[in-house]
Structure 1
Amino acid sequence: MNTRRLLLSALVAVSLAGCGGPRAFTRGTYEDPNTIEMLGDRFNENDLQLIAKKMAESLASSPRFVQAAPQGQPLPIVLVGKLRNSTSEHIDMRSLADKIQTALAQTGRFALVDQAARQDIAEEYEYQQSGYVNPNAAKAPGQQASVDFLMTGDLASIIQEVGRDKLVYYKMTAKLNDVRTGTIAWTDEKQIRKKFEKQGVSW
């Protein structure tokens, strides 16, 4: 009797170990990054892409910028500045800013200044003035382009849960501020609403 109990206990232990033991992802395939898939109820790369596309297209088609700069005229210079995260999630706002900056550059309507690169450029000035670089070719401070417009923004969210249903709402509001006058030259928002249904997990 004891032997049978021991065997049964061993079989149960092995079975539980097989179900609850560590698992690893051992194989995978490349996927189209533009394919929309929702594997969870958190902010994801699809949301990021939708926001960046909407902001770039809206700004490029706005009355002030819909006409391309005449031949020989400089493009308006835009700096994508601070984007605030007002949600309860940890969201990489730097990635969102980079995505918007890339989308704006691809319109061909704007010249972009990279905020993150400014410190690196300042350090490069110091190196080029250190004597290691040909003085006739060295670059010095004082010649950088002046930013015409500063883009700021805020990402907010509202989450509702009722029974098995969960609604997640995001709203990204972006503003383009005229650096000379301090007025808002453009503003728009992108809304994203997603619905999820809670399901049980089976083994």
Structure 2
Amino acid sequence: MKTHRLILTACLAASLVACSGPRAYTRGSYEDPNEIEMLSDQFNENDLQLIAKKMAESLANSPRFSTPRPDGSLPIVLVGKLKNSTSEHIDMRSLGDKIQTALAQTGRFAMVDQAARQDIAEEYEYQQSGYVDPNAAKGPGAQVSVDFMMTGDLASIIQEVGRDKLVYYKMTAKLSNVRTGLIEWTDEKQIRKKFEKRGVSW
């Protein structure tokens, strides 16, 4: 009898597991992308937004760029290489795009996109290939010259003691004068987060 009950219990448990199936995310809702919510100790979208906002505001309000040019022209800026010196995989292209967007929205700068330059160069080749009306074809030689190039480095320091973990990020950005090579502006954004290790239940 006991053996029969054990077999019956085992079959029932197996059937329940089979019915439940694999876990999957089946329902969701839209969330405010500006709302701070940390689900892990990794670099997240809020960190990206904080860095971009700080760099754009700092550059726009710096003494070198806070006053409009007498002729009304805008400084032409290219966001160049942003280096990831952390141990995490971080999408630095997204960070660069975010900074570029934030700078453009200040209305103080004209932006040139580095990736778009490559696409434009390929388009020049196509338009000069004979497939396009020669009188309407565009070609190299008329693009604007970049005045300033922004570069940067994202570094991190991680400390773990017992159940506590401190994650520190520091983004340093520099704006170099393309003609002279001089650094016209530099600033940094620091982010420090504390986490506590807890058990995760299903």
TM-score of the aligned structures, taking structure 2 as reference length: 0.93
1:54 alignment counterpart: 54
Counterpart of 1:43, as a letter, is F
Amino acid at match of 1:5: L
Q: What does residue 182 of structure 2 align with? A: 183
| Secondary structure of 1:96's aligned partner | helix
> Unaligned 5+ residue runs, structure 2?
none
Percent same amino acid at aligned positions? 80
SS in 2 for 1:41: coil
1:44 aligned onto 2:23: no
Residue identity opposite 2:29 in structure 1: T
Q: Between Structure 1 and Structure 2, how many residues are aligned?
A: 201
Distance in 2 separating the partners of 1:184 and 1:200? 48
1:152 paired residue number:
151
Point out where structure 1 has 5 or more consecutive residues left out of the alignment.
none
Q: For 1:191, what is the secondary structure of its paired residue?
A: strand
How many Å separate the matches in 1 of 2:22 and 2:69?
59
Deviations 1:46-74 (A, max 9, x none): 1000000000000000000011233x432
Indicate if the aligned counterparts of 1:69 and 1:109 stay in contact, CA closer than 8 A.
Answer: no
In 2 relative to 1, CA 8–201 (structure 1 residues): closer, same or farther, beyond 3 Å? Answer: same
Q: Distance in 1 between matches of 2:39 and 2:103?
A: 29
Which structure 2 residues correspond to residues 1-203 of structure 1 after superposition, within 5 A? Answer: 1-13=2-14, 22-70=22-70, 72-203=71-202
- Aligned-partner residue type, residue 144 of structure 1: Q
Q: By how many angstroms is 1:137 displaced?
A: 2.2
After alignment, is 85-94 or 32-41 more displaced? 32-41
Q: Deviations over 1:24-43 (max 9, x none)?
A: 11111111111111011100
What is the alpha-carbon distance in structure 1 between the residues aligned to residue 14 and residue 94 of structure 2?
46
* 1:96-124 CA distance string (max 9 Å, x none): 00000000000011111100011111111
Aligned CA distance change for structure 1 residues 162 and 200 (closer, same or farther; 3 Å): same
Q: Following the alignment from structure 1 to structure 2, what is the Cα–Cα distance between the partners of residues 167 and 17?
A: 41
The question of whether the paired residues in 2 share the 8 Å contact of 1:85 and 1:156 is answered with yes
The residue type equivalent to 1:44 in the other structure is N
AA aligned opposite 2:30 = Y
Structure 2: distance between partners of 1:167 and 1:131:
60
CA distance in structure 1 between the partners assigned to 2:201 and 2:141 by the alignment = 65
In structure 1, C-alpha distance between the alignment counterparts of 2:5 and 2:127, rounded to whole Å: 82
AA matched with 1:64? R
CA 1:118/1:2 → structure 2, altered by over 3 Å: closer, same or farther? same
> Is the alpha carbon distance of 1:147 and 1:88 closer, same or farther for their aligned partners in structure 2, counting shifts above 3 Å?
same
- Alignment CA distance shift 1:14-1:166 (3 Å): farther
Q: TM-score, normalization: structure 1?
A: 0.93
Q: Which amino acid aligns with 1:114?
A: D
